A = this chain, B = another copy of it.
């Protein structure tokens, strides 16, 4: 399916402020960026680099006053995300070097505290895909998905205590539980067609059967229509924007995802 994902960011800054944006999606095995637009107003010099997770990051200093960012992408994406109940657990000694990072605890995924709970949840479940699927189901059942409930990211420990959170928080818990049983997991931030209410979305991927599979603890089925924009260990690594210095006087985000009838 073809979707058009747009994001409009508006800031009012009290002072000139360094900003790092992660708003340029990359083509990958499951998405092809056929058309893309990225507008800054006022126009400022930008320097782009690739971070250690492979994300394209845009560095800039924005002036005091109003600043807006508009991005739009037409993307061929999957109708249904891949599922494979037979995807096997990869033993640690067989994981690719670059994947080991995603076994470690991180700022919002304190996996060192979730070994026991994770083992309880997957008790009796076949190793691999089905374990992650069970974890996802457990999070969906145990934690109330409550869009708008948290302005700042909740860690896995925090969301487990509070019992509710936004998509990113539920993903943190899912990731921490996976790592707790030695399954590499990473956060994905992006767009999802049909999300209600529409906003940026976060889900996670787990490494099983020799590749990354998509899981989404906030959605019952595993709907397609996704555009992944940024990857990382958790929300500390993956922010649509990192703003440094004094907080913006005002910021606002408007997100839309439309279905395209014909390829762009």
On A, residues with C-beta under 8 Å from B are 18, 20, 24, 26-29, 32-39, 43, 45-52, 54, 56-61, 76, 91-93, 97, 100-101, 103-107, 110, 112, 152, 182, 236-237, 242, 244-245, 263-264
Contacts and interface: CB of A to CB of B under 8 A. Distances in A.
Contacts of A29: 45, 47
Contact of A27 (B48, B92, B93, B97): B48
Contacts of A50: 50, 54
A4 B51 CA distance: 28
Given A35-B37, A38-B33, A104 B236 contact: yes
A68 to B, nearest CB: 14
Best-surrounded residue of A49, A50, A56, A263 (most CB of chain B within 10 A): A49
A236 B34 contact: no
B245 A182 contact: yes
Nearest to A60: B93
Contacts of A236: 104-106, 112
Contacts of A39: 34, 263-264
A59 B18 contact: no
Contact of A26 (B48, B93, B104): B48
23 contacts: A26-B56, A27-B47, A27-B48, A28-B48, A29-B45, A32-B43, A32-B46, A35-B35, A36-B36, A39-B263, A39-B264, A43-B263, A50-B54, A51-B100, A57-B97, A60-B93, A61-B93, A104-B107, A104-B236, A105-B107, A105-B236, A106-B106, A112-B236
